[in-house]
Amino acid sequence: MGKRKLVVIGNGMAGARAVEEVLARGGADMFDITMFGDERYGNYNRILLSNVLNGSQDPAEIVMNPLDWYAENGITLHSGAPVTDIDRAAKTVRSSAGVHVHYDYLLIATGSRAFIPPVEGMTGPDGKLRNGVFAFRTLDDCDGIIAHAKKSTQAAVIGGGLLGLEAARGLINHGCAVHVIHIGNHLMEQQLDGPAGAMLRASMEAMGVTVHLKKATTAVTHDGEKITGLAFKDGTTLDCDMVVVSAGIRPNAEIGLRAGLTVERAIVVDDKMRSVDDSTVYVVGECAQHRGRVYGLVAPLWDQAKVFAENITGRNRDAAYHGSKLATKLKVMGVEVAAMGITEPVEERDEVVQFTEPKRGTYKKLIVRDGRLVGGILMGDISKAAYLMQAFDRDTPLPEERLSLLFDIGAPAEKVTLDEMPDEAQVCNCNGVTKGAIGACVAGGMKSALAVMKATRGGMGCGSCKGLINELVEFYAGGEVEEDPSIHYYVPGVPLPTDELIDAIKINGLKSVSSVFKVLAGGKEDPGSKPGLAVLLSMIWKSEYEDERDAKFINDRMHGNIQKDGTFSVIPEMPGGVCTPDELKRIADVAVKYNVPLVKLTGGQRIDLVGVPRDDLPGVWRDLGMPAGHAWGKSYRTCKSCIGTDYCRFGLGDSMALATKIENRFRGIDSPGKLKLATAGCPRNCSEAYVKDIGAVAIGDGKWEIYIGGAAGAHIRKGDLLCVVGSHDEALSVMGRFIQYYRETAKWKERTYAYVERVGMAKLKSIVVDDSDGIGARLDRSLQESIDAYVDPWLERDAPATSHQFSSLIPVP
Amino acid sequence: MDGITSNLPDTALVTAELAWIEVGRVSDIPPAGARVVQSPHGDIAIFRTAEDEVFAIRNRCPHLGGPLSEGIVHGARVTCPLHNWVIDLASGGATGPDTGCTGTFPVQVEDGSIRLGLRLPVSAV
Ligand SMILES: Cc1cc2nc3c(=O)[nH]c(=O)nc-3n(C[C@H](O)[C@H](O)[C@H](O)COP(=O)(O)OP(=O)(O)OC[C@H]3O[C@@H](n4cnc5c(N)ncnc54)[C@H](O)[C@@H]3O)c2cc1C
The atom of ligand 1 lying closest to the CA of A462 is 8
Q: Is A616 in the pocket of ligand 1 (CB under 6 A)?
A: no
Query: A126 CA to middle of ligand 1, Å?
Result: 25
- Domain A4-112+251-313: give its CATH code: 3.50.50.60
Domains A4-112+251-313 and A633-791 share a fold: no
- Domain A633-791: give its CATH code: 3.30.413.10
What mean pLDDT do residues B14-37 have?
82
Identify the pLDDT of residue B120. 64
Q: Is A695 in the pocket of ligand 1 (CB under 6 A)?
A: no
Identify the pLDDT of residue A462. 67
B10 touches chain A (CB under 8 A): no
DSSP 8-state secondary structure symbol assigned to residue A353: E
- The H or E element containing residue A712 is strand A711-712
Q: Is A166 in the pocket of ligand 1 (CB under 6 A)?
A: yes
Q: Which of A415, A500, A418, A488 is nearest to A450 (CA)?
A: A488
Identify the pLDDT of residue A382. 87
Q: Is A15 in the pocket of ligand 1 (CB under 6 A)?
A: yes
The atom of ligand 1 lying closest to the CA of A95 is 42
Q: What's the per-residue H, E or C state across A248-281?
A: CEEECCHHHHHCCCCECCCEEECCCCEECCCCCE
Q: Which residue of B has its CA nearest to A806?
A: B35
Instruction: Map out the domains of chain B with their CATH numbers.
Output: 24-107 (2.102.10.10)
CB contact under 8 A, A143 and B100: no
Domain range list for chain A: 4-112+251-313, 133-247, 487-552, 633-791
Give the dihedral sign, CA A202/A206/A207/A213.
positive
**One-character DSSP codes across A370-399:** TTEEEEEEEES--TTHHHHHHHHHHTPPPP
Identify the pLDDT of residue B2. 30
Q: What is the mean pLDDT of each run of 10 residues along chain A (813 residues)?
A: 91 96 93 96 91 86 89 93 94 94 97 93 91 96 94 95 92 91 93 91 89 95 93 95 95 94 94 95 97 90 95 93 86 83 90 89 92 92 86 86 78 56 80 85 82 81 77 81 77 91 93 93 86 92 83 86 90 93 96 96 94 94 94 93 87 94 95 96 94 96 95 89 96 97 95 93 95 94 94 88 74 58
In this predicted structure, the answer to whether residue B41 has a pLDDT above a threshold of 60 is yes
Give the dihedral sign, CA B31/B32/B33/B37.
positive
Identify the pLDDT of residue B104. 86
Length of chain A: 813
Angle at A684 between CA A678 and CA A690, to 5 degrees: 40
- Domain A133-247: give its CATH code: 3.50.50.60
In this predicted structure, the answer to whether residue B84 has a pLDDT above a threshold of 90 is no
Q: How many CB pairs under 8 A join A and B?
A: 128
Identify the pLDDT of residue A274. 97
Query: Ligand 1 pocket check: which of A86, A100, A286 to mutate, most ligand atoms within 8 Å of Cβ?
Result: A286
Compute the distance between CA of residue A85 and CA of residue A89 in angstroms, rounded to an integer.
12
Task: Give chain A positions within 8 Å (CB) of B97.
Answer: 41-42, 44, 59-60, 62-63, 66, 139
pTM for the whole thing?
0.55
Residues 596-635 of A with CB under 8 A from B: 613-614
Identify the pLDDT of residue A682. 93
